[in-house]
Amino acid sequence: MIRFALFGAGFIGKVHAKNIHNHPNAKLTHVYDVNVEAAQQLSAQVGATVVANPDDIFASADVDAVAICSSTNTHSDLLAAAIRANKPIFCEKPIDLNIERVKAVATLLKGKDLPVVMGFSRRFDADYAEAQRRYRAGEIGKLEILQLTARGPKPPAISYVKVSGGQLRDQTIHYFDLAAWIAGEAPTEVYTSGACLVDPAIGEAGDIDTALVMMKLPSGALVQIDNSRRAAYGYDERIEIFASEGMLEAGRKQLSDVRKYVNGRVESAAMHAGWFERIEVSFGTFIDAFVRSLHGEAITMPTFWDGLRAQQMAEAAYQSLQTNQPVKVDYWLP
Amino acid sequence: MIRFALFGAGFIGKVHAKNIHNHPNAKLTHVYDVNVEAAQQLSAQVGATVVANPDDIFASADVDAVAICSSTNTHSDLLAAAIRANKPIFCEKPIDLNIERVKAVATLLKGKDLPVVMGFSRRFDADYAEAQRRYRAGEIGKLEILQLTARGPKPPAISYVKVSGGQLRDQTIHYFDLAAWIAGEAPTEVYTSGACLVDPAIGEAGDIDTALVMMKLPSGALVQIDNSRRAAYGYDERIEIFASEGMLEAGRKQLSDVRKYVNGRVESAAMHAGWFERIEVSFGTFIDAFVRSLHGEAITMPTFWDGLRAQQMAEAAYQSLQTNQPVKVDYWLP
Amino acid sequence: MIRFALFGAGFIGKVHAKNIHNHPNAKLTHVYDVNVEAAQQLSAQVGATVVANPDDIFASADVDAVAICSSTNTHSDLLAAAIRANKPIFCEKPIDLNIERVKAVATLLKGKDLPVVMGFSRRFDADYAEAQRRYRAGEIGKLEILQLTARGPKPPAISYVKVSGGQLRDQTIHYFDLAAWIAGEAPTEVYTSGACLVDPAIGEAGDIDTALVMMKLPSGALVQIDNSRRAAYGYDERIEIFASEGMLEAGRKQLSDVRKYVNGRVESAAMHAGWFERIEVSFGTFIDAFVRSLHGEAITMPTFWDGLRAQQMAEAAYQSLQTNQPVKVDYWLP
Amino acid sequence: MIRFALFGAGFIGKVHAKNIHNHPNAKLTHVYDVNVEAAQQLSAQVGATVVANPDDIFASADVDAVAICSSTNTHSDLLAAAIRANKPIFCEKPIDLNIERVKAVATLLKGKDLPVVMGFSRRFDADYAEAQRRYRAGEIGKLEILQLTARGPKPPAISYVKVSGGQLRDQTIHYFDLAAWIAGEAPTEVYTSGACLVDPAIGEAGDIDTALVMMKLPSGALVQIDNSRRAAYGYDERIEIFASEGMLEAGRKQLSDVRKYVNGRVESAAMHAGWFERIEVSFGTFIDAFVRSLHGEAITMPTFWDGLRAQQMAEAAYQSLQTNQPVKVDYWLP
């Protein structure tokens, strides 16, 4: 039984809390949030203890692992404390918006044999996981073009845009990680085109809402990502792995298999209402994989080092966006 | 909070137990099974009490509703006892294989304002429910042809075949209910063709494994059902509601949206492994609807009277099979 | 080069005329129609000669084959004359609405080694031909259920209904033929339910517009056909060959692969406007197969005997409809 | 009746010859090819005259229009001669591999009211035409991301690669034209990534076989194109028009609607064998549109100026590939 302490009782914290609570081999025992009321409410639902001081969690012998789901600017300190306390970590992405702080955590973690898992939940989407596994098993030969699409459904609140690190660090980062994870190699060069087409306020906040990213892989294969903060028709994700002997596609998903045939057209089901509805199930799969890996199963998890890598792609992508030049990515490692 | 007592801790009993246990407004408090060990095992998992004598359940003021999931031959007695005890009932289909015993329960229930819900779980499949709702809301005009398909995936064990009441009472009964529920009217005439094509032992046991049923509705619309006990490609269900202004289709379901493109063909995902995997989610929806209806929400549930109706269609279907004649259905009511 | 004489310059005659004219190894040399103007117009387009007396065609050494596309009541006489003249024949279905006249032609043809091809054009639909070929090649094991669907799009004019022989002889006959052709065996028993749901005038004319047909095959496999004279959403045909090791499906067809994604649904393309648009291409494939078979290629064509068989199924289906009894089909042969 | 003279009796010349010959309002009257035998063979099939000297065509009062389908290096001279002779022109793409020669033709054509149509056949694909028309009619709001995919199926012969102008001028040029045609505006900036992943001999010949192109439109919308010379699974094209109020997709096409359901997967049909099979029908639609436009119908045709524009995108794309920099496109006009 893995006893979890949770930092952050907001939206995503509650998602993970529920999955930990429902897991047969895990339970949520401690909850911390700067908003004490939120911590209390969540704790009451799952039978956990509210913790007033984060340090108590790191000092407790009754905590087997920590889940860091608090706001991004708290991640570095909590990661550092958990690493020092030698507690296995589940941390929401991104590590930190400041790459220097990310590097400091990396330096601290270096050489330690501690599970630090980053919340790249899309790796646990059943379709993506199947496509990746089958590609890596050699079913379709060598990668030539990898295409990743993610759109919508609605632009975030401007207040969120301002603290999100921007579209490339907040939305595209999932596809930076997926690209390297699927290809099995990290891009060496990034070129980005961006635009503010959805909401002028996003542009005024210094961000973009529509992004194309092109990347080169060491093998010579090419990657293209297209991202939008809005899709009028619901949430839309798809992947194509185009390779020398075939293609694997994880196609877009509709909500049902109901179709209506009327004069002039056939109507099929809507897309998901949002990114969360689309990948909700994968959060449970993720926690299950984490718990099983802590119990010793050999499961490849997205690690801190994957997070560091994805974040460096995002930095390069922003540099490309600002300079309108392709940017080489020299992956820093401590 | 609805406190449930469960009769039967077998496969389907455990399914309902889990959904009751996970429901925020319900809990499973008592479990009875002739196999005491099974009752104990299940009770331990959900924190329920094992009951040695069914009468204790009916007598208890701490039981708000009963779920009858024991073997079919026990249904009538348990239904009668629960009706007398005025406990709301969830009962697995069929009511009883002996139509006379079914009628006896009907006579007992007549005039009572007691919720007695029959386990026609397919009504709670999201796609079927959507198709039915949209048809009944008038989206496609008046029904002309209703087609219901359900196949596979594997023939049941002969031991089960012998106590199941036969394919038409065990498998087809779901589509008898769906037909009347979708159309909003009960068939007046049934014609059945059957064959034993899958497993000769089924034929030796006096049953069929492949069935076509054609029915006439009072409105003049026609129904066709095709059922097989085996589908080599997995479990396969679909519905077409063909009407005067269009068609609503609840199409067959595949397990994912992953596709592989190779020389000569495109391969998409498998079907579900079995009927249970196909409709597993609907069991949870069903229990939720039952709990909410017991809390006073106006939800149309499949009732005992629907079960009586479906069973009379099945009886007519068997008579048709045996006589190779179309058979009129005169619905008996107490 | 096969030199064709055509009887009938109406709609279907013009379709065949065009395909004969465009074929590299065939030409249309003679045209006869009781409507001389129609014959003249068509002849002018393809460079053929108008013939005033049908006998001149049968007597001519310059005619290698005849295409009988005139009204159904003329078929028997033209067939008999062509058989006597030893001219290879392409004849539109049905042979004749009067089964006795059909039998007379059969008796005349018996023992003769003359190609007499019936216009069962759906056999030349690429999808149906592929599905049949693959089933017969053993890809999915032994047939268990064969389902044939054909609907719409619009009820024929009442004037046509009156001379058509009725829905079962006019529309369903294609699926009687397809069923036997796919299964490789002819049904032994037929049961039909029919209704007049589309247009009361069809019922007043003594016909139905909605039909379900259930058939038993000697192997034990079952067949179900559903036919409607109207489909509000366009023309709709599909076939499922459900067998012991899998299923082959020739799915319904939409007009394009354009999809529109909007809030709440995905819209895809319309169905074909009518039966002709749906199978138009197959008429060309058919003529090509006929010409090649006349040149000696071993191609299995739908023959007069297939037409006789299908017509006997239709007769049994009507008898079943009238008596509401399953009817055995004893195939008469001269 | 439009009387056509054809230059070039090779593969594509024969395609156009057949469509001109079959058109009710056009005929092919003259054929020229440096390979006299090829000209003779084709002429014999369609009843045209072989012309020994191209000048005779330009001088003839019996030629209403010319189709230039000879090798690319002959296009400029033939275009110039036809412009001087005031003959309406259908010319295969590209205009000329040397942009200076293209400009010379442009200067000659400037100010003349002569139909000069470029062979951008994909505009006449029914699905692409429908998607473009519906987008331009405002069905889905304002363009945000345009994605164009075209792959395979087999790399061309090295001998062809060497004279083709390279992948971007030969394959991608169709999508340069489609992009501007769909968007209704021409890209202002192009960035290209290329690789030689399919056949090293292509790289040795100085070309690429895999290309990603990203373009910016004046409206701020973004375009991404992915092209490969090979697709192991057949020919693959698709378009997504992602806009503010929805998306229009012209999806990839499979050869039939036959599906096989077996244990573990559902198999559907192959893709087209090649680009020609995929768009073969559109060549006929194209010629028909050209003939009708010459008869005065108001049909928007792809013109010489569209060809000039697409070629300038291709030049910018090559410059970007060579410099690994985004390149502004300043469209030169005479």
Q: Quote the tokens at residue C271.
A: 């169905």
Q: How far, in Å, CA of B93 to CA of B87, rounded?
A: 18
Q: Could you give phi then psi for residue B153, rounded to 5 degrees?
A: -90, -30
Q: Which residues of D touch C149 (CB under 8 A)?
A: none
Alpha-carbon span B64 to C306, nearest angstrom: 66
**Is the Cβ–Cβ distance between A116 and A91 less than 8 Å?**
yes
> Do C97 and C72 contact (CB within 8 A), yes or no?
yes
Per the domain annotation, does A333 fall within a domain? Answer: no
Please judge whether B212 and C224 are an interchain contact, meaning their C-beta atoms are less than 8 angstroms apart: yes
Residue D247: which of C127, C253, C261 has the nearest Cβ?
Answer: C261
Which residue, B92, B114, B136, sits at the end of a domain?
A: B114
Do both B94 and B191 map to the same domain? no
Q: Are B151 and B66 contained in the same domain?
A: no
Apex CA A145: angle with CA A139 and CA A148, to 5°? 95
* Exposed/middle/buried for residue A157 (C-beta within 10 Å: 0-12, 13-18, 19+): exposed
| A75-104 pLDDT per residue, tens | 999 999 999 999 999 999 999 999 999 999
Any domain includes B334: no
**3-state secondary structure string, chain B?**
CEEEEEECCCHHHHHHHHHHHHCCCEEEEEEECCCHHHHHHHHHHHCCEECCCHHHHHHCCCCCEEEECCCHHHHHHHHHHHHHCCCCEEECCCCCCCHHHHHHHHHHHCCCCCCEEECCHHHHCHHHHHHHHHHHCCCCCCEEEEEEEEECCCCCCHHHHHHCCCHHHHCCHHHHHHHHHHHCCCCCEEEEEEECCCCHHHHHCCCCCEEEEEEECCCCCEEEEEEECCCCCCEEEEEEEEECCEEEEECCCCCCCEEEEECCEEEECCCECCHHHHHHHHHHHHHHHHHHHHCCCCCCCCEHHHHHHHHHHHHHHHHHHHHCCCEECCCCCC
> Which of A142, A232, A324 faces D326 most closely, judged by CB atoms?
A324
Instruction: Tell me if A334 is assigned to some domain.
Output: no
Nearest-CA distance B246 → chain D (Å):
21
The residue of C256, C268, C277 whose CB has the most chain D CBs within 10 angstroms, and thus the best one to mutate to test that interface, is: C256
Amino acid at A201: A
Phi, psi dihedral angles at C97 (to 5 degrees): -75, -20
Domain-terminating residue out of D114, D133, D150? D114
Residue of C nearest to B191 (CA): C191
**Candidate from B130, B259, B261 with C-beta closest to A256:** B130
Across the interface, which of A251, A258, A259 has its CB nearest the CB of B259?
A251
**Average pLDDT over all residues of chain A:** 97
Q: Do B196 and C221 touch (CB under 8 A)?
A: no
B102 in the same domain as B62: yes
Q: Give the one of C231, C261, C268 whose C-beta lies nearest to A265's C-beta.
A: C268
CB A271 within 8 A of CB A233: yes
Give the CA distances from residue D293 to residues B56, C291, D2, D131, D302, in Å, rounded to whole numbers and listed in that order: 89, 37, 11, 22, 12
B67 token code pair = 């779920």
Q: Could you give the CA distance from residue B252 to residue B244 in angstroms, rounded to a whole number?
A: 23
Facing residue for B256 by CB, picked from A130, A262, A263: A130
Residue D295 lies inside a defined structural domain of this protein: yes
Q: What is the pLDDT of residue D84?
A: 97
**Partners of residue A75 on adjacent β-strands:** none
Residues of A in contact with D249 (CB under 8 A): none
Q: How far is CA B232 from CA B273, C131, C134, in A?
A: 10, 17, 16
Q: Which of B114, B138, B153 is the last residue of a domain?
A: B114
Q: Which residues of A touch C (CB under 8 A)?
A: 231-234, 236, 254, 261-271
Q: How far apart are CA C238 and CA C250, in angstroms?
A: 6
Gap from B236 CA to chain C (nearest CA, Å): 11
Interface list for chain A against chain D, based on CB atoms closer than 8 Å: 140-142, 144-145, 147, 149, 151, 191, 193, 195-198, 210, 212, 214, 216, 220-222, 224, 226, 228, 230-233, 236, 242-247, 324-326
The answer to whether B20 touches B27, Cβ cutoff 8 Å, is: yes
Give the nearest partner residue to D144 out of A214, A228, A233, using CB atoms.
A228
Find the chain D residues whose C-beta atoms sit closer than 8 A to any C-beta of B.
Answer: 231-234, 236, 254, 261-271
Q: What is the pTM of this model?
A: 0.96
- Using the structure block, give the residue that is written with the tokens 């073969």: D280
From chain B, the residues in CB contact with D268 under 8 A are: 265-268
- Name the neighbours of B, counting chains with at least 3 Cβ pairs within 8 A: A, C, D
Give the confidence band of D235 by pLDDT, cuts at 50, 70, 90: very high
B233 and B146 part of one domain: yes
Q: How far is B246 from chain C (nearest CA, A)?
A: 5
Q: Does one domain contain both D132 and D195?
A: yes
CATH number, residue D171: 3.30.360.10
Q: How far is CA D118 from CA B206, D88, D300, in A?
A: 73, 11, 12
Residue C225: inside a domain: yes
For tokens 């089924």, name the residue: B202
C313 falls within a domain = yes
Nearest CA to CA, how far is C159 from chain D (Å)? 34
Residues of A in contact with D195 (CB under 8 A): 144, 216, 220-222
Total structural domains in chain C? 2
Euclidean distance between CA atoms D179 and D186, whole angstroms: 8
> Do the beta carbons of residue A191 and residue D193 sit within 8 Å?
yes
Report, in this order, helix, strand and coil percent for chain A, each rounded to 5.
40, 25, 35
The Cα–Cα gap between A121 and C172 comes to: 54
Neighbouring CB atoms inside 10 A of B291's CB total 23
- Closest among C320, C289, C322, C317 to C303, alpha carbons compared: C289
pLDDT tens per residue, range D3-45: 999 999 999 999 999 999 999 999 999 999 999 999 999 999 9
What residues form DSSP beta bridges with A116?
Answer: A89
> Does B119 fall in a domain?
no
Task: Using a pLDDT cut of 70, give the percent of chain D over it.
Answer: 100
Residue pLDDT, tens place only, D257-310: 999 999 999 999 999 999 999 999 999 999 999 999 999 999 999 999 999 999
Neighbours of chain D (3+ CB pairs under 8 A): A, B, C
Residues D145, D54, single domain; the answer is no
User: Which of C222, C229, C235, C257 to substitute to test the interface with B, most B CBs within 10 Å?
Assistant: C222
Task: Look at residue D248 in the predicted model and tell me its pLDDT.
Answer: 98
Residues 6+ apart with CB under 8 A from D217: D143, D183, D185, D186, D187, D188, D223
Q: Give the gap in angstroms from C-alpha D278 to the nearest C-alpha of chain C.
A: 13
Distance CA A254, CA D90 (A): 44
Mean per-residue pLDDT for B214-218? 98
On whether both B104 and B147 belong to a single domain, the answer is no
Inter-chain contact D220–A228, Cβ cutoff 8 Å?
A: no
| Residues D216, A193: C-beta atoms closer than 8 Å | yes
* Spatial separation of the C-alpha atoms in residues C310 and A74, rounded to whole Å: 78
Position A78 in a domain: yes
Pair of tokens at residue A218: 């060491």
Point out which residues pair with B214 in neighbouring strands.
B191, B224
> What are the chain C neighbours of A238 within 8 Å (beta carbons)?
none
The span from the CA of D314 to the CA of C69, in Å, is 55
Q: Closest chain B residue to A130 measured between Cα atoms?
A: B258
A45 touches A19 (CB < 8 A): no
Q: In what order do the strands lie in the sheet with A65-68?
A: A49-50, A26-32, A2-7, A65-68, A89-91, A116-118
C147: three-class secondary structure by DSSP:
strand
Residue of A nearest to D247 (CA): A233
Residue of D74, D180, D68, D47 lying closest to D119 (CA atoms): D68
Residue A233: which of D151, D231, D247 has the nearest Cβ? D247
Distance CA B237, CA B250 (A): 9
Mention every residue, 6+ apart, whose C-beta is less than 8 A from residue B95. B75, B76, B79, B101, B102, B105, B118, B304, B307, B308, B311
Predicted local distance difference test score (pLDDT) of residue C269: 97
Partnered with residue A258 across adjacent β-strands are B250
Tell whether B166 and B93 lie within a shared domain.
no
Assess whether A133 and A268 both reside in one domain.
yes
Nearest residue to C54 (alpha-carbon basis) of C66, C71, C40: C66
Nearest to B271 among D254, D261, D268 (CB): D261
Q: Assess contact for C235 and C152: CB atoms under 8 A.
A: yes
Tell whether C85 and C171 lie within a shared domain.
Answer: no
Mutate to test the interface with A, among B257, B272, B282 (most CBs of A within 10 A): B257
The answer to whether residues A215 and A166 touch, using CB atoms and an 8 Å cutoff, is: no
Local structure of D31: helix, strand or coil? strand
pLDDT tens per residue, range B187-200: 999 999 999 999 99
Mutate to test the interface with C, among A149, A261, A262, A268 (most CBs of C within 10 A): A261
pLDDT digits (tens, 9 = 90+) for D100-110: 999 999 999 99
Nearest to B276 by CA among B8, B13, B15: B15
For residues B300-330, one letter each, b for 16 or more C-beta atoms within 10 angstroms of the residue's C-beta and e for the rest, the string is: ebbbbebbbbbbbbbbbbbbbbeeeebbebe
Which chain D residues have a beta carbon less than 8 Å from that of B231?
A: 261
Using a 10 angstrom Cβ sphere, with 0-12 exposed, 13-18 middle and 19 or more buried, the burial of residue D157 is exposed
C109: domain CATH number is 3.40.50.720
Encode pLDDT of B286-328 as tens digits. 999 999 999 999 999 999 999 999 999 999 999 999 999 999 9
Flag if A220 and D140 touch (Cβ within 8 Å).
no
Residue B33 half-sphere exposure, CB side, CA atoms within 13 Å? 24
Query: Would residue A246 be called left, alpha or beta, if left means φ above 0 and alpha means ψ between -120 and 50 degrees?
Result: left
Cβ separation of D265 and B267 shorter than 8 Å? Answer: yes
Q: Mark whether D166 and D94 lie in a shared domain.
A: no
Q: Say if CB B238 and CB B120 are below 8 A apart.
A: no
**Min distance A8 CA to chain B CA atoms (Å):** 24
| Claim to verify: residue B81 and residue B99 sit in the same structural domain | yes
Q: What is the dihedral of CA D20, D21, D25, D26, to 10 degrees?
A: 60
For position D218, what pLDDT does the model report? 98
Q: How many CB pairs under 8 A join B and D?
A: 50
Average pLDDT, chain B: 97
**D305 is in which domain, residue-wise?**
124-328
CA gap D148, D155 in Å, rounded: 19
Over its length of 334 residues, how does chain C's per-residue pLDDT go in tens digits?
999 999 999 999 999 999 999 999 999 999 999 999 999 999 999 999 999 999 999 999 999 999 999 999 999 999 999 999 999 999 999 999 999 999 999 999 999 999 999 999 999 999 999 999 999 999 999 999 999 999 999 999 999 999 999 999 999 999 999 999 999 999 999 999 999 999 999 999 999 999 999 999 999 999 999 999 999 999 999 999 999 999 999 999 999 999 999 999 999 999 999 999 999 999 999 999 999 999 999 999 999 999 999 999 999 999 999 999 999 999 999 9
Query: Does D233 sit within 8 Å of B263, measured CB to CB?
Result: yes
pLDDT (tens digit per residue) in D172-219: 999 999 999 999 999 999 999 999 999 999 999 999 999 999 999 999
Q: What is the pLDDT of residue D147?
A: 98
Q: What is the pLDDT of residues C203-255, one digit of tens each?
A: 999 999 999 999 999 999 999 999 999 999 999 999 999 999 999 999 999 99
The complex's ipTM works out to 0.96
